Structure 1
Amino acid sequence: MISVVDRLGREIRYEYDSRNRLVKTILPDGTEQLNRYDFDNNPVSRRDTNWQATQRFR
């Protein structure tokens, strides 16, 4: 996991899988964004912690 803190003290955390793909982002308010990929490493979707699709990729 990688953590970045901006000059206002807000922390964003990034988690990567064994294929070095970003799988989770944790925002300063605690919201988690989960990323899914297909077998060719193409992004398929990004969902928030309520499992609402926030973005879908083609």
Structure 2
Amino acid sequence: MNGKDLFNFGPVFGYFFRKNDPSRQSNFNLRTMHFINKLSMAMFLVGLGVLLYRWFLR
């Protein structure tokens, strides 16, 4: 693994913006799990942005 692979955010953005697959069955638990996953990734990215702001712009 090299440094370029560590900063490959393509799959993360693909997870946020993918369309629903009609052939896949969905239920409340699955939708809730995906919502919590998206929320936790968004909170992590916001926190990372705040840390980078504090380190480089202060």
Q: Compute the TM-score of the two structures, normalised by the length of structure 1.
A: 0.20
The structure with the larger Rg is 2
Q: Compute the TM-score of the two structures, normalised by the length of structure 2.
A: 0.20
